[in-house]
């Protein structure tokens, strides 16, 4: 009887410990659509940076409220250059992890909020913030306010610096979180016009 009781206690404790240690940020792989908010329009403008340090991508996103109540939301916009994995043949070498994302500029610009550790202990970037409550309006230092009848316009600026092997952005990820920090919208845009 003692052995059975001890085994049950051991299994319960082990499962509780595993549940605590394996808990991590659930990063959505594909687009996440919402019945609360939608992206009505999105515009991409490329221009030379005012300081002359590189080329700038301006992203203008127009959000529409789909509910009957005004809401507060967090908005994060990430511009990246990502190297695509080739899949023509299994004999081709995979793209090394350090070369997959060569340019990563988030808005708001706290890049440490997007640093994760892979299974080998190396730091990698993911287009998903660790702290989902950082996407506040820089003009008010509060959440973005999305009214019922009017649209919300959010602009972000991402600079790709000039260097010997200059590259510009090829993807933009738009993330929206509710006032509690829960994801309600995720859309990825390829700058050639296709949506991923």
Query: 45 exposed, middle or buried (CB, 10 Å; 0-12, 13-18, 19+)?
Result: exposed
The full set of domain ranges for the chain reads: 30-190
Predicted pLDDT at 184: 94
Residues 159 and 196: their CA atoms lie apart, in Å, by: 22
Residues 3 and 10: their CA atoms lie apart, in Å, by: 10
CATH code given to domain 30-190: 2.60.40.10
Predicted pLDDT at 122: 85
The rounded average pLDDT for each run of 10 residues, N- to C-terminus, in the chain (196 residues) is 48 41 48 87 91 90 95 96 69 62 89 88 89 93 94 94 88 95 94 61
Predicted pLDDT at 89: 62
Predicted pLDDT at 124: 86
Residues 78 and 103: their CA atoms lie apart, in Å, by: 10
């Amino acid at each position: 009887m003692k052995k059975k009781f001890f085994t049950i206690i051991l299994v319960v404790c082990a499962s509780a410990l595993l549940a605590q240690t394996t808990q991590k940020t659930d990063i959505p792989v594909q687009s996440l659509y919402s019945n609360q908010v939608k992206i009505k329009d999105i515009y991409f403008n490329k221009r030379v940076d005012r300081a002359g340090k590189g080329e700038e991508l301006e992203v203008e996103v127009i959000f529409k409220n789909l509910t009957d109540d005004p809401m507060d939301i967090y908005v994060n916009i990430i511009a990246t250059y990502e190297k695509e994995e080739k899949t023509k043949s299994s004999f081709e070498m995979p793209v090394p992890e350090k070369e997959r994302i060569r340019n990563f500029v988030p808005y708001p610009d706290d890049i440490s909020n997007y640093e994760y550790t892979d299974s080998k202990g190396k730091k990698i970037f993911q287009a998903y913030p660790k702290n989902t409550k950082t996407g506040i309006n820089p003009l008010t230092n509060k959440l973005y306010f999305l009214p019922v009848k009017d649209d919300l316009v959010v602009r972000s600026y991402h600079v790709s610096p000039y260097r010997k092997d200059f590259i510009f952005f090829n993807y933009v990820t738009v993330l929206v979180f509710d006032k509690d920090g829960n994801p309600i919208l995720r859309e990825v845009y390829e700058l050639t016009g296709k949506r991923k």
